[in-house]
Amino acid sequence: MTDVRGMNIHSVVNAALEAPGKRDAILDAALSLFAERGFHGTAVPLVAERAKVGAGTVYRYFESKEALVNVLFRREKGRFLQLLTANLPFTAAPREQFRELWRRMRRFAEENPEAGMFLELHHHAPYLDAESRELEARGMELFYAFIRDAQAREVLKPAAPEVLAAIVHGAFTGVAKAALAGQLGGADDPFAQAEACMWEAVRL
């Protein structure tokens, strides 16, 4: 049965009756699968199976796999940036700001391991749309602004902010992956050790 615009009435009614949490269930299932298998290794039917919905239900909320991954990216990146910036002590000394940023990154990685892996795998992906890329750029600008300010105070090395941010981000990602996989043995607080080493690497 269709209306004058050719819309399937049964589809509209079924979508309206979907449980409110179904969209979040789809996103949560997609997060696990994208983190585990990557974008290209995750098919929509797998997401539907993990979320315990039909494939058609996934497409009611997300028109394509690309749309799904972008909505998920913005959700997780938004959560990360909210944790990173909430009441951040912008007036503190650069050393204290660096330690606090690292501490918050660690908290996100430990509390949200799948989200951390997902963001790491997808933040430069070609299928991210303009809105997702803009959010990623705004997030990176937070780090670049901190670096430029610390350089102006003659606290950090005078390298390009993009270079220093990449060095620190790469080190953090490596430590986070190894620590969460239990590969650092009996190291005493590896995150704190890495933070101290990275500060020494980038400071004047």
Q: Residue ranges of the domains in the chain?
A: 1-62, 65-202
Residues constituting the chain: 204
Gap between the terminal Cα atoms of the chain: 71
Task: Specify the amino acid at residue 73.
Answer: F
3 state DSSP class of 8: strand
Architecture of the domain delimited by 1-62: Orthogonal Bundle (1.10)
Residue found by looking up tokens 């239900």 in the block: 57
Residue found by looking up tokens 């098919």 in the block: 43
pLDDT tens digits, 2-43: 343 344 444 433 444 445 589 999 999 999 999 999 999 999
CA dist 27 and 198 (Å) reads: 34
pLDDT tens digits, 158-171: 999 999 999 999 99
Q: Domain 65-202: which CATH class?
A: mainly alpha
Task: Specify the amino acid at residue 89.
Answer: P
CA dist 77 and 94 (Å) reads: 24
Structure tokens at 58: 């996934």
Task: Specify the amino acid at residue 103.
Answer: R
Measure Cα distances from 156 to 84, 97, 142, 159 in Å: 21, 12, 16, 8
Percent of the chain exceeding pLDDT 90 equals 84
Model-level pTM?
0.87
Measure Cα distances from 32 to 27, 44, 64, 189 in Å: 9, 13, 18, 27
Task: Specify the amino acid at residue 157.
Answer: K
Percent of the chain exceeding pLDDT 70 equals 90
Instruction: Judge contact between 109 and 116, C-beta under 8 A.
Output: yes
The C-alpha angle 8, 9, 11, rounded to 5 degrees, equals 70
Whether residue 53 has pLDDT greater than 50: yes
Nearest to 116 by CA among 106, 129, 102: 106
CA dist 79 and 89 (Å) reads: 19
pLDDT tens digits, 152-203: 999 999 999 999 999 999 999 999 999 888 898 777 899 999 999 999 999 9
Bridge partners for 8 per DSSP: 2
